[in-house]
Amino acid sequence: MKGTIRLGIIGGGQLGKMLIQSAMDFNIEIHVLDGDAQAPCRPLAHHFTIGNIEGEQTVIDFGQGLDVVTVEIERISVRGLEYLQQKGIKVYPQPHALRIIQDKRLQKQFYAEYQIPTADFVLTENKEEVKKLAQKWLPAVHKIGKGGYDGKGVVVLNSEKDLEKAFDAPAVLEKKVNIAQEISVIVARGIDGQTSVFPPVASVFNPELNLVDYLIAPADISEKIVAEANELAVKIIEKLDMVGLLAVEFFLSESGDLLVNEVAPRPHNSGHHTIKACYTSQFEQHIRAICGLPLGNPTQHTPAAMINLLGEKGYEGVAHYEGMEKALQTDSVFVHLYGKAITKSGRKMGHITVLAPDKNELMQKITQLKDAIKVVAK
Residues in contact with ligand ADP by the rule CB under 6 A: 119, 141, 143, 148-151, 153-154, 174, 176-177, 179, 182, 205, 210, 249, 261-262
User: Least distance from C-beta 52 to ligand ADP, angstroms?
Assistant: 22
Spatial contact of 29 and 46, defined as CB atoms under 8 Å apart: yes
User: Least distance from C-beta 171 to ligand ADP, angstroms?
Assistant: 11
Q: Which CB sits closer to ligand ADP, 149 or 279?
A: 149
User: Least distance from C-beta 104 to ligand ADP, angstroms?
Assistant: 7
User: Least distance from C-beta 118 to ligand ADP, angstroms?
Assistant: 9
Amino acid found at 18:
M
Residue closest to ligand ADP (Cβ) = 177
Please report, for the chain, how many H helices and E strands are present, in that order: 11, 21
Q: Which CB sits closer to ligand ADP, 177 or 372?
A: 177
Amino acid found at 294:
P
Q: At what angle are helices 78-86 and 56-63 packed, to 10 degrees?
A: 40
State the Cα–Cα distance between residues 350 and 364, nearest whole angstrom: 21
User: Least distance from C-beta 138 to ligand ADP, angstroms?
Assistant: 12
Spatial contact of 169 and 126, defined as CB atoms under 8 Å apart: yes
Q: Which CB sits closer to ligand ADP, 259 or 373?
A: 259
Q: Which CB sits closer to ligand ADP, 74 or 284?
A: 74
User: Least distance from C-beta 176 to ligand ADP, angstroms?
Assistant: 4
Going across the sheet that includes 154-157, the strands are 121-124, 171-175, 140-144, 154-157
Three-state DSSP at 175 gives strand
Q: Which CB sits closer to ligand ADP, 105 or 288?
A: 105
C-alpha triplet 143, 149, 150: angle, nearest 5°: 105
**Cis peptide leading into residue 207 (ω within 30°):** no
State the Cα–Cα distance between residues 150 and 345, nearest whole angstrom: 13
Q: Which CB sits closer to ligand ADP, 143 or 288?
A: 143
> 192: part of which helix (H) or strand (E)?
none
